[in-house]
Amino acid sequence: MGDIMTQWGLKKPIMDGLTIGMGYLPVAVAFGITAKPLISLFDTTLMSIMVYGGASQFLVLQMLNTSGAAAIVMAVFILNSRHFVMAFKVNYDLRHESFIKRLILSSYVTDESFAVTANTDPPGRAFPKYFVTFIIAYLFWVIFSAVGYVAGDWMSDSWTIASGIALYALFIALLIPAVRVHYKYGLVAVSGMLFHGILSVIPMVPSGFAIIIAMLLAALMGVLIDRMGASE
């Protein structure tokens, strides 16, 4: 088994999937716990299977008693539409793969699965590697949503709270190596932070829009930095 994993180069994708999964675990458990007083176990698990988006699923629970179905669907659409940009890049990087393979991968694109695979070198841009990472992360999300619902109390409160850092630690750990390669990536990330910070304090801007606009503007900063010759 170990030999096959090494031969296919699947060791890193598996570790990447487990890393995302470990970040998802506490969030999924928290989702299960939050959902318990509101919806059934079936619906909780179904939502994780079909929506597969942390922030948007919490948003649904939050809106459930105060908003109509149309408003909830619209809010989730706006919040999750950032995946379009991410899936766009995944599809572009894997444009040599068949349509059906790209279709499968696209449906598992999340902030985390995108961030972890986005810097893959061309030789690593292959369906099996992406799929392994994506599916492991997905399984953690689905399984631990249900586990949280059924047995959420096995995680102590302070562990659940401390685990809130997990996905941020993941994002930071993905950013730092890029900044070591060139500081311009750091500048792009910092401008993303600033744009998002500014947009999120402006009232009336839905958080989903704030994320996409900040992301698109910050990436534009990268192009500008290149134009100004900072890459030389």
Which 90-129 positions form the footprint of other proteins (CB under 8 A)? 90-92, 95, 99, 102-103, 106-107, 109, 111, 114-116, 118-119
Among 8, 154, 159, 183, binds other proteins (CB under 8 A): 159
Closest to other proteins by CB, 103 or 151: 103
Provide the minimum distance between the beta carbon of 208 and other proteins in the complex, in angstroms, as a whole number. Answer: 10
Considering only residues 71, 151, 165, 230, which one is a binding residue for other proteins as defined by CB under 8 A? 165
- Residue-wise over 101-122: b if at least 16 C-beta within 10 A, else e? bbebbbebbbbbbbbbbeebee
According to the binding rule CB under 8 A, does residue 34 interact with other proteins? no
228 binds other proteins, rule: CB under 8 A = no
Of residues 101 and 143, the one with the C-beta less far from other proteins: 101
Candidate segments 1-9, 10-18, 126-134, 147-155, binder of other proteins by CB under 8 A:
10-18
Q: What angle do CA 175, 219, 216 make, to 5 degrees?
A: 115
The reply to whether 15 sits near other proteins by the rule CB under 8 A is yes
Q: Is 143 an interacting residue with respect to other proteins (CB under 8 A)?
A: no
# of chain residues touching other proteins (CB under 8 A): 95
* Nearest approach, Cβ of residue 1 and other proteins (Å): 20
Whole-number minimum distance, CB 123 to other proteins, in Å? 17
Q: Is 175 in the site for other proteins (CB under 8 A)?
A: yes
Q: In the complex, what is the shortest distance from the CB of residue 225 to other proteins, in angstroms, rounded to a whole number?
A: 9
Which is nearest to 46 in space by CA: 27, 60, 65?
A: 60
